[in-house]
Structure 1
Amino acid sequence: MAKYISLFGGTTTDTTVQVVKENQIVIGYGPCMSMNRYVVYKVEHTADGYMYHMIDLDTKEIRCTHILQPLSCQYGIGKYYDDKTPQFMDAFEVAVLASEAERLAAEKADAEAQAQAEHDRIARIGAERLENIMPENVQGVILAELNETHFTDPSYECRETQSVRTVILGFSTTTRNGFGELRRAARNLPETASLAVYNKDYEHRYPCFTLGKSPDSGWSIHKMRYYTRKGFIDMLAYTAGDEANIRLSNATAERSDKRPETVVQGDFVIVEYSDKAIAVFGDTKPIKTELSALGGRFNSRLTHKGEKKAGWIFQKSKEEQVRRLIGKNE
């Protein structure tokens, strides 16, 4: 026998007992006690008990649940049936409504699939951009966030905050938080330029370091931390798919777009890969032991001239030693 226990009301629901019939009206209570009305258009018996398929009478969206509680025991959020004076809809009206709801559900699923495909396409473009400009030793990404807060009921007791735009302002080589770093990055975007001027009231430390008039409304700046380079790219790929969402300082942009390279010998190329790192490309297999001994780290997914390419990463301080090693193997 399948049973579900409510943590809030302390009640137990036996799903092997059918509590409503087809065409019966069900009432749903949501956050802030918002109310929705549903009609049950199909009752299905499953391994977990009875499943009730319902249609929202306002939105025509399909919902399913195993748990329906009697209205006489109503205690909060959930879906309830009137156990004293149950109400029903005409069977023909419900059949027409179900047909319309299923059509809308199919259209919604198709639209969501197309939207996901477009999202993935944009994310691929963004990932490629970030591969080209993000330093190998990145420890944090400084982001500008435009947030909007909407109140969901007239008493303002329930509200919802959402981000409507994210802009990449810079890359950081440390996980430490500092408002000075955020203020410097603020200059990169006209909408946040005013935050570059010191204002103690704009420094928020809880729940996280945020620079702005309010973390919940308007523009604010914070640092994304504790991801690997690949993790940062995965998280921000869609954002970077729109070039307008990348606003680096001129110095950073120039270093990213104009990394100098030196051809040491036909098969070897040394590239300034970031501010503090160089990369070596070419037929390095015969000297891989020596490269590793110098502190090199092999990476099969580096980016060179916009393409994925295997190579070795070194600290820039090792450049002369790398040159001498390659010179000995010419």
Structure 2
Amino acid sequence: MTGRRTFIKQGSLLTTAGIVGSMLPLSAISQSKQAGTKPQPQQSKWLDGSRLVISVSMQFEAGGQPENAESPFPQNMQKGYKDLPAETWYQYGYKEGIPRMLDNWDKLGVKITSHMVGSAVLKNPSLAKEIVDRGHEAAAHGMNWATQYTMPYNEEKKFIKDGVDAIRKITGFDAIGYNANWLRRGENTLKILQELGFLYHIDDLSRDEPFIQTVNDKDFVTVPYTLRCNDILLIEGKNFSVDQFVNQVKMEFDQMYEESEKRRRQMSISFHDRIGGTPQMVQAAKELFTYMKKHQGVSFKRKDEIARMALEDKTTIRE
């Protein structure tokens, strides 16, 4: 694909430098006493002036799945045989899906967070590096699809670290965000992440804005994830048509945008390599994001940006 070979590599990682300087007043209403001046409502609860932040995930998993992993095909393979057609479904994710999505993100001017399975990165190193070179965030997603929550402490720590090391080796990016397989972290996961230098995780559905917890006596951010606007649940799980997917995500956006006039709101959308990278789903994303970008105060941010902004903001919710 020509677009993939001619992209301009992004510069250094985005930082939050300068954000604090542009901080909006924290009061909800201007207290101006000038004659004839009406109080002005606070339009944003985000430090950089955004009204509504859109957080986009692109899961890089294909190639790291176990043999005979779940797929759209009937789960009736006889023991001892490989599900060869299902393997090609996963291969689509790195052969066609992610390259197509990357071109689309460039056209839309959107930067995303890619949650990368370590073994998938090692199998497709040039693609993993390209994601980072195009200015997107590489976040950790385990070393493989193993069941993480059953692992003893030291085994889980090695499992997470191996995935991080694979990402760093191939892309040069130090992952500071984490996503467990199907969000199913264990009792020790947050402690381990804090010990390994992570700033945030996404395995939480409880809010529509980031919040801070104390882990190992330090601040640790939750950047909430989504099932409501997630292609693997809606397209594969519920067999939504593309029109149904677009309508659901659009209605979510409209409500969140309305709420964001008075409170901090983050909307999350998730795409998986072999699902979100299909032609019709890329068209769906193009239609949705073009619509969203027409609304004043909407910004698309990587999750590391959101986490850092949450840490800087003294008004971030603490639990």
With the shorter chain as reference, the TM-score category is under 0.3
Indicate the structure whose relative CO is greater, using CA pairs within 8 Å and at least 6 residues apart. Answer: 2
Q: TM-score, normalised by structure 2?
A: 0.22
Q: In terms of Rg, which structure is larger?
A: 1
Q: TM-score, normalised by structure 1?
A: 0.22
